[in-house]
Amino acid sequence: MATRTLTGITPSGTLHVGNYFGAMRPAIAAQDLGECYYFIANYHSLTTVFDPEVRRRNTLGIALDWLACGLDPTKSVFWRQSDVPEVCELTWLLGTLTPMGLLERAHSYKDKTAKGIAPNFGLFAYPVLMAADILLYDTTVVPVGKDQKQHLEMTRDIAIKFNQTYGETFVVPEPSIAEEVAIIPGVDGQKMSASYGNTLPIMGEEKALKKKVMSIVMDSRTREEPKPDGEELPASQLLKLFAPADEFASIMDQLKAGGYGYGDLKKALFTHYWEFFREAREKRAELAANLDHVESILQDGASRARAVASEVLDRARRNCGIV
């Protein structure tokens, strides 16, 4: 069977440099290697976000960011989850075969409720909706971060149980977990994460982004002091992502030798970071000025996704005896 890669992107806020290198860039590169299905998981966002305007804004923002960064709708199928509501029916079919114990063991549910998010049925059933997302498209591979590994295992368990109970229905997908993907540090040196408030956003206004770069936490060594560990500094790790290799090497040499200060390093970082996303920023502004076009991309994606979804859902309905 041909490879069909699928992943969902939760519209929970603005995207940052960690998301870009950890998730977006590999997903965009995968477009040239096989069939790709990418969707904005707005049904999932209902479990934790309760402001409709925020949801609409984040959903549109994600669409603009991904298209601006190189998601090519002529190569990939890109849609809004809720435009293919078949996924809700499949969630029910799968839910009736999902053991309570399986859901009770879900780390993400335990983590979210421990953080004070009020438990609701949707939050508890989240892994079943995710399984439906994946199984509805005969997906073969799901690239996800480590935190989603358990959800993938649950998806496989549910698919196998359905197939055993009602006969061969679903493709059992393989996870693709990039264990070794570098963890991009944030401005405080910890893992860059929306929930730590330490991000460098991929889009934004020049002054605000510069301020963020200038706020990167450094030690107290003076400009003159040699810094033999220069390459390990979070600011250097960030610079490495954006600067040409020869320029990066030359800056590392200067840091080691002494006479190159943290202000210089941050200025170089800002220059390259700003330049790196220039084209995407321009593309985003063009897209934002033509929202009808963006909507038509999502609608076209939804109709292509729906063609697959309705076939798979029919198969599932027939096999379990509701038609």
Partner whose footprint covers residue 60, from ligand TRP, ligand ADP, none (CB < 5 to 8 Å by kind): none
- Asked if residue 142 binds ligand TRP (CB under 6 A), the reply is yes
Whole-angstrom distance, CA of residue 261 vs CA of residue 266: 9
Q: Which amino acid is at 88?
A: C
CA 231-233-236 angle, to 5 degrees, is 60
Question: In the bound complex, which residue of the shown chain has the CB atom lying closest to ligand ADP?
Answer: 22
Supply the minimum distance, in Å, between the C-beta of residue 223 and ligand TRP: 42
Partner whose footprint covers residue 192, from ligand TRP, ligand ADP, none (CB < 5 to 8 Å by kind): ligand ADP
CA 103-108-111 angle, to 5 degrees, is 115
Q: Are 236 and 255 in contact (CB under 8 A)?
A: yes
Partner whose footprint covers residue 93, from ligand TRP, ligand ADP, none (CB < 5 to 8 Å by kind): none
One of 46, 54, 194, 214 touching ligand ADP (CB under 6 A): 194
- Asked if residue 19 binds ligand ADP (CB under 6 A), the reply is yes
Number of shown-chain residues binding ligand ADP (CB under 6 A): 14
Partner whose footprint covers residue 44, from ligand TRP, ligand ADP, none (CB < 5 to 8 Å by kind): ligand TRP
Question: For 138, how many CA atoms within 13 A lie in the half-sphere containing its CB?
Answer: 18
257: Cβ contacts below 8 Å, ≥ 6 apart: 226
- Asked if residue 133 binds ligand TRP (CB under 6 A), the reply is yes
- Asked if residue 44 binds ligand TRP (CB under 6 A), the reply is yes
User: Which range binds ligand TRP by CB under 6 A, 140-148, 217-225, 246-254, 301-309?
Assistant: 140-148
Partner whose footprint covers residue 130, from ligand TRP, ligand ADP, none (CB < 5 to 8 Å by kind): ligand TRP
Supply the minimum distance, in Å, between the C-beta of residue 41 and ligand TRP: 4
- Asked if residue 144 binds ligand TRP (CB under 6 A), the reply is yes
Residues 141-160 that bind ligand ADP (CB under 6 A): 145
- Asked if residue 10 binds ligand TRP (CB under 6 A), the reply is yes
Q: Which is nearer to ligand ADP, 23 or 309 (CB)?
A: 23
Q: Are 35 and 117 in contact (CB under 8 A)?
A: no
The side-by-side arrangement of strands in the sheet containing 174-177 is 76-80, 35-40, 4-9, 141-144, 174-177
What is the per-residue burial (b if ≥16 Cβ within 10 Å, else e) of 44-61? Answer: bbbbbbeeeeebeebbbb
Q: Are 202 and 16 in contact (CB under 8 A)?
A: yes
- Asked if residue 7 binds ligand TRP (CB under 6 A), the reply is yes
Bridge partners of residue 5, in order along the sequence: 36, 141
51-60's contacts with Cβ under 8 Å and 24+ in sequence apart are 55/11, 58/11, 58/12, 58/13, 58/14, 59/11, 60/291, 60/294
- Asked if residue 184 binds ligand ADP (CB under 6 A), the reply is yes
Binding site for ligand TRP (CB under 6 A): 6-8, 10, 41, 44, 130, 133-134, 142, 144, 148
Binding site for ligand ADP (CB under 6 A): 18-19, 21-23, 145, 181, 183-184, 191-195
